Structure formats: structure tokens, C-alpha cells
Amino acid sequence: MTALEIKTKSALSDEVKEFLKQYKDKHGSFTYVEQIDQMMPKNSRYIVIDYNDLVSHPHTEKKFNENPDEILTAFSRAIKEILQERFPQYAAKIKDEIRARIINYPVQRSLRQINAEIINKMTSVSGMLVRSSEIKPLAKEITYKCSNNHEFHISLEKGMTVPPLYRCGSDLKCQSKEFAIQPEKSRFIDFQIGRLQELPEDLPPGQLPHYIDVTIKQDLVDNARPGDRIILTGIVRIEQESLIGARTTSGLYRLRIDANNVEFIGGRGSRISRKTQREETSPEEEKAIKSLAKLSDIYERLIDSFAPHIQGHSLIKEAILLLVVGSTQRLLQDGTKIRGDINIFLVGDPGTAKSEMLKFCARIAPRGLYTSGRGSTAAGLTAAVIHDKSGIMMLEAGAVVLGDQGLVCIDEFDKMKPEDRSALHEVMEQQSVSIAKGGIVATLNARTSILAAANPMYGKYDPFKNITENVNLPIPLLTRFDLIFVVRDIPSKEKDARIARHIINLHTPTGNDTRSLIDSNTLTKYLAYAKRIDPILTKEAEDKILEYYMKMRNVESDDMITVTPRQLEGLIRLATARARLLMKDQVEGEDADRAIFLIESMLNDAGVDVNTGKVDLGVLQGRAHSEVSKMQLFMDVLKSLEGDNKIPVEEKLFITELVKSDKFTEEEARNYLRRMLREASIYESRPGHYNRV
């Protein structure tokens, strides 16, 4: 280094030191001096520099665009010098680790704009962290000892490769070629590799999302986790691609970002806004939202503003809005969590706009992901363990983990493979993803609502079959949905005319009349704001829900419905979500009434036993009440006819007895007999005679 270079370096760090010592914020306090004073009590090794404060120092600011490494080194030196005046021992202890983190760096690029032009330049890029590796030590200074006991140092300022050693590096004329590393005299820092992928909303249509690897060092490690949306400020570096099997070194390099700082962004901030919160609302927007909430017809307007290009289906739209807002998660004293997310399942005829509603829902939700059944595997939905090229095992988060505290829309639910679908059992009730693969045992949070849509097994919904026979889904999964809607396509003159007119209107230039509707941006903001409210159940709402539940559970009555506590929790969730949507502090009686109405309409739709025409929740749990009682009767009659000696029972006698019980007609009894034979509950012991198995 020439004397001039040393001089400019110290001059630069003096300039920076002056800026740090003299800068005052608008309240007149010395921000950076205070930050440096706080370093020792907080045991921190960095201070945060707001780029906007550098405007008054154009020379320093200019350096960031020309040579960011040099100016960051100058900052480290200046901070160290100021710290030395105050806490000399602490400064000596952390002298090599002091650094400045830059926030609000103005040069923001998208991941697609990171190219060869900006190598070694500083940039700021927004994206979603999709994977992160374990933390490993990276050598900064290595001390070697040769076989003749000579020590020599190698320092690695940039990059991750150690230069090859051919002989002893000490000044003595030593020819030794054997070296041992001295860990206690070397210096290492924490190091982690992450992968940043472009945000789904920034993705140009029809393109694969771009990604870039990020190296995270020192106190930034483990700051952001997979699924976090971040703005990363850092310096673009290159590292050499190794050609497999080639002896020559490759001329190909790949880009990597050396992270300097991580800021978190909210659900859907525009690229310019850097908000730490999920979806910050400005005071003006808050005013607008509050004035909206005061309107008398706000509930109807919200429902109409949800997917206005779909005619009708207002009940489903209302349910989906409640799903987006969700209820509050309850934390009990013993650490148990009660889920607050609502799950909804739509099953119905093709062409009833199910997918459209899912797509719209994923678009307006503060944090929403859309996936389709055929293209999703269990690992893609939950989490996967992968081998990185460096041999590191990494955990890669899937859709429900990335959608944590938001919602995931799964279309074509019936087309998923059963083993992939089974991954959702835990997500929907326990709200977590447990994984034990490749030596990694972890439980990740997956507090998501799930909105699923499926087609019936035979193309169209068969009204003469129960829902479990219509949908090819395991019963435990069905019971985890709070609401199930059957969307039937029944031709009716006026409804069809209305839909047709609506569709034709969408294709005309004048379009729909959307004056009274809330636009989708405002709707997103409204829903995000509503999610913060935490309403409390009032006595009136409690009584209504309890009364309804007890009425449904009444065992004495003939038409007893086997509701489970799951439905009770579902009622409470729906009522709370409605109070949230209307921005109320309390869940009132009308909210409970509406929740009961939604559950009732589900039961009258999907929960009707087609054999008796009565509402029966057993339908959703596999066997309807009527089926169970018939089967019981069938077996009881056979048992009494068999007697203790298990004599074979003649078919004619058996059917006569069954018809006497008034539960079967003769034809029904014969059919039932055949069915029981098929199910191997009875067997033919000799021609025309039957016994229990």
C-alpha cells in the first residue's frame, strides 16, 4: 500500500468519524454516538446507519456507489476509534468484528436486474427467503505452523477459498511442505448460506422465479427464516463455477450477494415501501377504513366486493371473507394453542367458478398462496430436506410454512395423491409441520387457513349419494373443515339469465357497475386491519352457541345429530371472525346467529342423509346414523335367530324377520343381505343359509 493510499484511507475514516460524532437527528440528539455508547451494554458488534442521514455528506455518500468495501471498512475503523475512547477493553475485544449495517439504501433492484454490471457494487433487493443452511465457521485469518515450527499467517478478506500453499510461508528459507493449522491463533466468523427468491407478486407471468444465493455472516445469521419476506442490502460478488471433470479452470462465474443488512417487509408492500410490519396502514388509510366500517351496509358491500366478476354464491363469498380474517388464536396457560384459523372446502360441479374464487382469495389476502393438486407433493406443501451442492443438508419450506399466518388455497384437492394429502392432517388441526428426515427433526409453524376445492368423483355431484360417496377424500380430513359447501349447477331460468347477462356484461367495454364496490387494494388493507382486532365473546353469544350445540347433541330425540366439539369450536371461530370483519370489540348475538346460520346451511346442504332426508352429521363422519342403526338391527336379528348353538339361518325366515321390524322392505332386506355378504360381515354356511362371521 502506498503512503498516499494510507493517507486517503485514514482521511476517509476521519471524515466518517466526524459524521458519526456530529450528526444530530431532528430531535437534536446525537443518534450515532448514542448507538455506539449502547454497544457495550447490549453486547452488540454493529450499529445501524440510515442512508438518508448521509445526504449532508455528499463525499461519503458518493463512495457507496464507487467503492462500497472501502467505505464500509472506513466505517468500521471510525466506530472502533470512537468506541476506544469510551470502552477501551470492549473495543480491544471485538476489534475485528465491528461493522456498520446500512438501512434505507436507495438503489433498489429486482432480482432480475442483478447482472454483470453491478459486480462489487452495493444494491438492495427484495425477495422471499426460501431456504437457509446450518451455521458454519468461516476462516478470516488462518495461522499455520510448518514442521520446522515456523508460524505464518494468511488472511482471507473476501471470498471463501483458501489460496493453495506450496511451501512454508515464513520469511526464513524454510523448504518444509507440511503444515498444521493453529485454531487458537486463527480467527473464524459465523457463516450461513441462504437462497433469496423473487416475491410471487413481482413475478412476470409465465416465468420461473429467479433466485440468488446469499452469504450471511456474523450477527446476521439466523436473523431471517425461510418464508420471511425481506429486503436485503449487500454487495454483489462473484464466485467461480467449477466445471465437473474439466482440468482447466472455468471462465464461468456465478453471482452471490454478501449480505450487509436485512429488513423485513410486510405482506404486500409495494417495492418502494420498506415496512417492518406486515401491512402498515397510513393514518389516512386508517381513517378511510374506519369510516368504511361505520357504514350500515358494510357487510353486504364487503361480500359484493369479493370477486365481483362472479355472479351469486354470496354465502360462499361471505364464508371466504370470514376465512381471510380468521379468528384469534387462543394460548392457554399450559401452553396449549387453540386454532383460530378457519378451513373451508368447496365441492361441486365443474364450471361453478370454484377456482376463480380461490384465485381471487389468494390475491386479496394479506398473505396468500395458491397451489393446485396435481402439481403439489407432500414435500412441496410441508417441508423438504435437500442436499446442497456443498454437501450441506438444508431445510426447504413448503407452501403451508411459507403461508404461515396467511392462507393457502389448494385447487383440485381430489387430484392429489392420498399420501400427499395426508400431510395436511397435522397442518389443519395442530397448525404445525413436523419433519424427521435425513437427521433433521423439526416442527415448523404452519398457522394457515386452508381453502380447498374439489370436483365430485363422477364429474357431477350425485344428489342421491351422501357427501362421503361423492368426494374421494378420507373422512378424518373432511371433519377438519369448519364449513363444507356443495356448489351445485342446477338450471333455473331466471338464475341462468342473470349469470349469462353478467358474463356478457364483463365482455362489453362498459363492463360492470362497480361504483358501490370497494376496490381490491382497499379490501386487502381493510382485511389486514381487521385481523388486528381481538373481539371477546359476550354472554348473549355464548348462550346462543351453547343452546344450539346442546339442541344438536340431544341424544333422546330420534333425529339426533352427532355433532362433535369440533363443530362447537367452528361456531365460535365463525362468530369471532364475523365480529372482526365488522371491526367490533365484542362478539354479539347477531354474530352467533350468523355463524349458526352458516353451519345450518352447510348441514342442510352437505350433512343430509339421503336415505332418510334428515340432517345427520354422521354423513360427514363416514356412516350415517340410519346406516348404523340398520346394521345394528340386521346383526341383532341374525344373532337371535342363530341362538347359542350358531345354527345356520335360512334366508327366507331371516328376511321375514327383518321385514317384521318395520325398518326394511323385502327388497331392501335382500339388497342389504347381498351387501353384508360382499362386506364379509356374514357368510353362507350352506346354500341359502347364513351365519355371522
Strands (DSSP E) contained in 226-319 are 229-240, 253-264
Question: pLDDT tens for residues 139-155?
Answer: 888 888 887 777 887 87
Does residue 13 lie in a domain region?
yes
Nearest-angstrom CA–CA distance, 382 and 375: 14
Average pLDDT over residues 601-616: 68
> Model confidence over 69-88: pLDDT tens digits?
888 888 888 888 888 888 88
Whether 293 shows a pLDDT value over 80: the answer reads no
Q: Are residues 254 and 238 in the same domain?
A: yes
Asked if 429 and 388 sit in the same domain, the reply is yes
CA distance 464 to 374: 28
Give me the number of domains the chain comprises: 4
Give the end of a domain, one of 103, 129, 146.
103
pLDDT of 279 > 70? The answer is no
Domain boundary among 209, 235, 264: 264
Whether residue 263 is predicted with pLDDT greater than 60 in this model: the reply is yes
Question: What is the domain-level CATH number for residue 253?
Answer: 2.40.50.140
Domain membership flag for residue 277: no
Is residue 614 in a domain?
Answer: no
- Which of 570, 605, 640 delimits the end of a domain? 605
Most confident of 166-175, 420-429, 562-571, 582-591: 582-591
- Asked whether residue 463 falls in the same domain as residue 595, the answer is yes
Residues 352 and 375 in one domain: yes
Helix (H) or strand (E) holding 537: strand 536-537
Are residues 546 and 419 part of one domain?
Answer: yes
Write down the pLDDT at residue 611. 63
Query: DSSP 3-state assignment of 152?
Result: strand
Residues 397 and 304 in one domain: yes
Residue 680 pLDDT grade (very low, low, confident, very high; cuts 50, 70, 90): low
Split at pLDDT 50, 70, 90, the class of 7 is low
Region at 646 (left for phi over 0; alpha for psi -120 to 50; beta for the rest) = left
Nearest to 345 by CA among 393, 262, 413: 413
The answer on 529 and 633 residing in a single domain is: no
| 90 and 55 co-located in one domain | yes
**What digits encode the pLDDT tens for the residues 340-378?**
888 888 888 888 888 888 888 888 777 778 888 777 787
Which cell goes with 612?
A: 332418510
Sheet holding 682-686: strands in order across?
649-650, 689-692, 682-686
Interstrand relation of 344-348 and 337-338 (parallel, antiparallel or unpaired): unpaired
Q: What is the DSSP string of 663-688?
A: S--HHHHHHHHHHHHHTTSEEEEETT
pLDDT band, very low/low/confident/very high, at 614 (cuts 50, 70, 90): low
242 occurs within a structural domain: yes
Q: Is the pLDDT reported for residue 172 higher than 70?
A: no
Say what the pLDDT of residue 321 is. 86
* pLDDT for res 397: 74
- Determine the average pLDDT of the residues in 398-407: 77
Question: Is 594 in a helix, a strand, or coil?
Answer: helix
Confidence (pLDDT) at 246: 64
State whether 294 and 351 are in the same domain. yes
What's the pLDDT at 427?
Answer: 82
Across 558-577, average pLDDT: 76
Residue-range definition of the domain harbouring residue 131:
108-264
The answer as to whether 618 is a domain residue is: no
638 lies in the same domain as 489: no
pLDDT score, position 270: 35
Region class of 194: left (phi > 0), else alpha (psi between -120 and 50), else beta:
beta
Q: Does 675 fall in a domain?
A: yes
Q: Are 182 and 146 in contact (CB under 8 A)?
A: no
Domain assignment of residue 273, yes or no = no
Does some domain include residue 575?
Answer: yes
At residue 171, the pLDDT reads 67
**pLDDT mean over 5-15:** 74
According to DSSP, the β-strands at 407-411 and 368-372 are parallel
- The letter for the amino acid at 316 is I
Q: Are residues 64 and 158 in the same domain?
A: no
CATH number at residue 479: 3.40.50.300
Residues 449 and 549 in one domain: yes
Query: Starting at the edge strand that comes first in sequence, how are the strands of the sheet with 483-487 ordered?
Result: 368-372, 407-411, 449-454, 344-348, 483-487
Does residue 527 surpass a pLDDT of 60? yes
Look up the CATH number of the domain holding residue 630. 1.10.10.10
pLDDT at 162: 76
pLDDT of residue 369: 80
Could you give the CA distance from residue 138 to residue 153 in angstroms, rounded to a whole number?
A: 16
The average pLDDT across 611-619 equals 62
Task: Give yes or no for residue 36 having a pLDDT over 80.
Answer: yes
pLDDT for 272 equals: 33
What does the mean pLDDT of the chain come to? Answer: 78
Q: What is the mean pLDDT of residues 503-521?
A: 72
**What pLDDT, on a 0 to 100 scale, did the predictor assign at position 366?**
72
What is the pLDDT, as a whole number, of residue 129?
Answer: 83
